[in-house]
């Protein structure tokens, strides 16, 4: 938007009728005239803060929706949207005069009068919640609400300054992002600029003035680009409309903040939009652009092949333009353009009589997630939690990751394998015990990136961890983790009730501590062990215990000879750590789960990761391999790299029977010519 118009335009019913008729000559104009007359009569004694008749507001809301090409039922509801709240008219009367569908839409945007005694914050939360849940039945409710908020922002100068700030913050935090999530980009841009004007008045005008100074320069540049592209397109007999513009002011401001740069250093404030007839022409035009100017590969997005969740489709590419500065192109078909500008509203393009069928096909996945979120937070009794979750959902950017079979899964930016698991299925999430990303094992809190191939490892003994709540991104995952926790608590409670024993956490803790205290250093009992490669008999023993599943910790990789301790995990046996392992620090809060454990003599072998560094020379690799072969040690994995000039690094996984054998191997390796040091991977401690 080049400027924000703060004056109220004088428009009347004829203006509205003209807009509707120009798009759909067969529209039900009689319904519009009846709704306007009824609203005008109902509000006849009311005026706005500007001094104008109140009817101006619902009329302007209706005009906004008419320009979005919405059906006459929605426009009639917009004209009537305040009569139940601000007059003596009831929903029953509206239903009788205008039908159940119009009344349902009006009810969806009507505020609840009983909320007057609540604080403004709680009132807004409750009203917003009611509005969002109403849209599950009919998404047009939220379109009316957004149009209502847009006109209020256009006339916000009549509000007291303190109230202007509050309204603008709500618009920036809730309504503008919601318009974006519903795909109505034109409405989002105007809402953001209007709120930006209120919240950062001086900064807004500074950016506006600087853009104005460059207006002719930008227009001349865009005209040159249009001329170049038209010549190329004519040769290929491709028809397209090419337009250019400067980005809206809040978008420029956000870029300045994110990149921590002044306006003068923001070069990509220009954008070119190309609209053509067919999808194949979009890709053809993309090829022309990339042959004319060098593309910035990291800035290419194909939203045609993989649309956004708000139905948006376009090709986005940024190139180094003829002036040596970044230049962004958006390429789409006319149908995609209608969806991009009007988003979800494009489903009601004056197709009278077909709205019910169309409504069933509308993508309202965001609104369904909000309904689940609302149910959860009502149970938690936390309105602030609802607002926190809602705002995060609205601001999410998206990434696209793949299952091992190639299925695309959309996730919020910052999502983890746990979010992915719950996105696949609830039970996959509940039984998740590990994950591979691009064939590599990773921690469950790893942040995923677009293009990652994610494989979830599950176990019937697995279950959600409370720690997951600290890093999961999606409200869906949080909801299901908490649901499992509530179910688990209910099962525990029922077990205690059946046993006739009251639940006493302090007593349970004491019993666990007493049981742990009875464990002593073993004599000869062997237990099963599962390590990274296979199951085998272990040389670890525990007094009075048999057939217990344990595993060696991968964080410190203990081997016979190390001073170790066991940690009892819930449902997964015992994990063995070195007593010096840094991971034990975060486990100390549950002392009752530690268990004494010792090594016994055994011929078993254990994988150990070591690093060998040295000055590169001919046959160094061969000498290392020969020395390890002499020690009769198996090499599971070998990797060699030149880390800097003349310096070589070798990473190995070898099998050893004890610490003594490892030290013997290290001693032999250190005597090899040009080897400078040897240490265990991730410890960086020199082995002696």
One domain, residues 75 and 168? yes
- How far is Cα 536 from Cα 117, in angstroms, rounded to an integer? 69
One domain, residues 60 and 176? yes
One domain, residues 183 and 246? no
One domain, residues 153 and 86? yes
Over the stretch 329-339, which tens digit does the pLDDT of each residue have? 999 999 888 88
pLDDT above 80 for 499: no
Over the stretch 25-83, which tens digit does the pLDDT of each residue have? 888 999 999 999 999 999 988 888 888 899 999 999 999 999 888 889 999 999 998 89
Locus of tokens 């011929």: 603
pLDDT above 50 for 340: yes
Instruction: Identify the residue with better confidence: 295 or 547.
Output: 295
Active-site amino acid positions: 85-86
One domain, residues 594 and 615? no
pLDDT of res. 420: 94
- The range of the structural domain enclosing residue 649 comes to 606-680
User: Pairing state of beta strands 528-530 and 535-537?
Assistant: antiparallel
Mean pLDDT of the chain: 76
pLDDT of res. 266: 73
CATH number at residue 153: 1.10.3210.10
pLDDT of res. 358: 43
Question: Which of 599, 621, 641 lies at the terminal end of a domain, its last residue?
Answer: 599
pLDDT of res. 129: 52
pLDDT above 60 for 247: yes
One domain, residues 587 and 614? no
Mean pLDDT in residue range 529-552: 46
Please choose, from the candidates 348, 321, 379, the residue with its C-alpha nearest in 3D space to the C-alpha of residue 75: 348
Instruction: Identify the residue with better confidence: 609 or 658.
Output: 609
Locus of tokens 């689940």: 372
pLDDT above 50 for 412: yes
Please choose, from the candidates 278, 293, 285, 294, the residue with its C-alpha nearest in 3D space to the C-alpha of residue 234: 285
pLDDT of res. 2: 38
Locus of tokens 């005239």: 33
Question: Which of 170, 199, 228 lies at the terminal end of a domain, its last residue?
Answer: 199
- How far is Cα 129 from Cα 407, in angstroms, rounded to an integer? 34
One domain, residues 515 and 576? yes
Inside any domain, residue 54: yes
pLDDT of res. 490: 62
- 377, two tokens: 């937070």
SS3 category, 657: coil
Residue 198 · residue 178 · CB < 8 Å: no
Question: Which of 293, 317, 348 lies at the terminal end of a domain, its last residue?
Answer: 348
Inside any domain, residue 128: yes
Inside any domain, residue 504: no
pLDDT of res. 602: 54
pLDDT of res. 169: 87
CATH number at residue 613: 3.30.70.260
CATH number at residue 266: 3.30.460.10
Q: pLDDT band for position 317 (50/70/90)?
A: very high
Inside any domain, residue 362: no
One domain, residues 47 and 187? yes
pLDDT of res. 524: 33
One domain, residues 175 and 320? no
Inside any domain, residue 381: no
Mean pLDDT in residue range 250-255: 86
One domain, residues 55 and 121? yes
Q: pLDDT band for position 235 (50/70/90)?
A: confident
pLDDT of res. 571: 56
| Most distant pair of Cα atoms in the chain: their distance | 102
Inside any domain, residue 490: no
Inside any domain, residue 616: yes
Per this entry, what is the length of the chain?
Answer: 688
- 225, two tokens: 């680009």
For the chain, what is the domain count?
A: 4
One domain, residues 625 and 553? no
pLDDT of res. 494: 56
One domain, residues 224 and 192? no
Inside any domain, residue 569: yes
Q: Where are the beta strands (DSSP E) in 503-589?
A: 528-530, 535-537, 540-541, 550-552, 564-568, 574-578
Q: pLDDT band for position 191 (50/70/90)?
A: very high
Instruction: Identify the residue with better confidence: 250 or 133.
Output: 250
Instruction: Identify the residue with better confidence: 248 or 342.
Output: 248
- 148, two tokens: 């209502």
Mean pLDDT in residue range 126-153: 72
């Amino acid at each position: 938007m080049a400027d924000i118009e703060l004056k109220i335009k004088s428009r009347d019913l004829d203006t509205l009728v003209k807009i509707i008729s120009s798009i759909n000559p067969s529209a039900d104009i009689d319904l519009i005239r009846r709704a306007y007359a009824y609203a005008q009569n109902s509000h006849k004694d009311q005026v706005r803060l500007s001094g104008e008749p109140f009817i101006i507001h619902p009329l302007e809301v209706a005009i906004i929706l008419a320009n979005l090409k919405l059906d006459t039922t929605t426009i009639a509801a917009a004209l009537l949207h305040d009569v139940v709240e601000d007059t003596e008219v009831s929903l029953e009367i509206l239903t009788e005069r205008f039908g159940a569908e119009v009344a349902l839409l009006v009810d969806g945007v009507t505020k609840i009068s009983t909320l007057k005694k609540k604080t403004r914050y709680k009132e807004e939360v409750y009203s917003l919640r009611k509005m969002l849940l109403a849209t599950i039945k009919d998404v047009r409710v939220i379109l009316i609400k957004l149009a209502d908020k847009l006109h209020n922002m256009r006339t916000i100068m009549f509000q007291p300054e303190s109230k202007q700030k509050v309204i603008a913050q709500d618009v920036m935090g809730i309504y503008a992002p919601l318009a974006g999530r519903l795909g109505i980009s034109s409405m989002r841009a105007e809402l953001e600029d209007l709120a930006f004007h209120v919240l950062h008045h001086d900064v807004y005008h500074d950016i506006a003035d600087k853009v104005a100074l460059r207006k002719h320069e930008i227009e001349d540049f865009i005209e040159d680009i249009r001329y170049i592209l038209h010549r190329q397109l004519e040769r290929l007999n491709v028809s397209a409309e090419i337009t250019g513009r400067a980005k809206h002011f809040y978008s420029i401001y956000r870029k300045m903040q994110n990149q921590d740069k002044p306006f003068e250093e923001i070069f990509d404030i220009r954008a070119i939009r190309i609209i053509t007839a067919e999808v194949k022409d979009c890709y053809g035009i993309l090829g022309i652009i990339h042959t004319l100017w060098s593309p910035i590969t990291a800035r290419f997005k194909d939203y045609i092949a993989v649309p956004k969740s708000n139905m948006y489709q376009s090709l986005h590419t940024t190139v180094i333009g003829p002036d040596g500065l970044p230049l962004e192109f958006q390429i789409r078909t006319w149908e995609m353009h209608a969806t991009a500008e009007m988003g979800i509203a494009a489903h009601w393009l004056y197709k009278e009589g077909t709205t019910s069928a169309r409504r069933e096909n509308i993508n309202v996945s965001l609104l369904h997630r909000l309904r689940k979120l609302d149910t959860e937070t009502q149970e938690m009794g936390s309105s602030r939690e609802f607002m926190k979750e809602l705002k995060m959902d609205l601001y999410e950017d998206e990434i696209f990751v793949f299952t091992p079979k190639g299925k695309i899964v959309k996730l919020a930016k910052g999502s983890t394998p746990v979010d992915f698991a719950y996105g696949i299925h609830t039970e996959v999430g509940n039984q998740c015990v590990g994950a591979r990303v691009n064939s590599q094992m990773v921690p469950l809190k790893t942040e995923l990136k677009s293009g990652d191939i994610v494989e979830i490892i599950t176990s019937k003994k697995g279950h959600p961890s409370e720690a997951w709540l600290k890093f999961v991104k999606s409200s869906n995952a949080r909801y299901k983790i908490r649901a499992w926790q509530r179910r688990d608590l209910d099962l525990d409670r029922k077990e205690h009730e059946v046993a006739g024993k009251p639940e006493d956490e302090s007593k349970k803790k004491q019993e666990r501590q007493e049981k742990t205290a009875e464990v002593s250093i073993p004599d000869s009992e062997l237990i099963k062990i599962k390590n990274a490669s296979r199951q085998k008999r272990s040389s670890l023993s525990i007094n009075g215990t048999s057939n217990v599943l344990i595993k060696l910790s991968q964080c410190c990789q203990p081997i016979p000879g190390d001073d170790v301790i066991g940690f009892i995990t819930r449902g997964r046996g015992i994990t063995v750590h070195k007593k010096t392992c840094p991971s034990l620090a975060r486990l100390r809060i549950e002392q009752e789960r530690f268990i004494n454990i010792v090594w016994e003599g055994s011929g078993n072998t254990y994988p150990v990761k070591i690093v060998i560094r040295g000055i590169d020379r001919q046959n160094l690799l061969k000498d290392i391999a020969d020395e390890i072969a002499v020690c009769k040690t198996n090499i599971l994995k070998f990797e060699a790299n030149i880390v800097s000039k003349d310096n070589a690094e070798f990473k190995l996984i070898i099998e050893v029977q004890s610490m003594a054998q490892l030290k013997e191997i290290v001693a032999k390796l250190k005597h090899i010519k040009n080897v400078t040091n040897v240490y265990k991977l991730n410890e960086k401690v020199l082995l002696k």
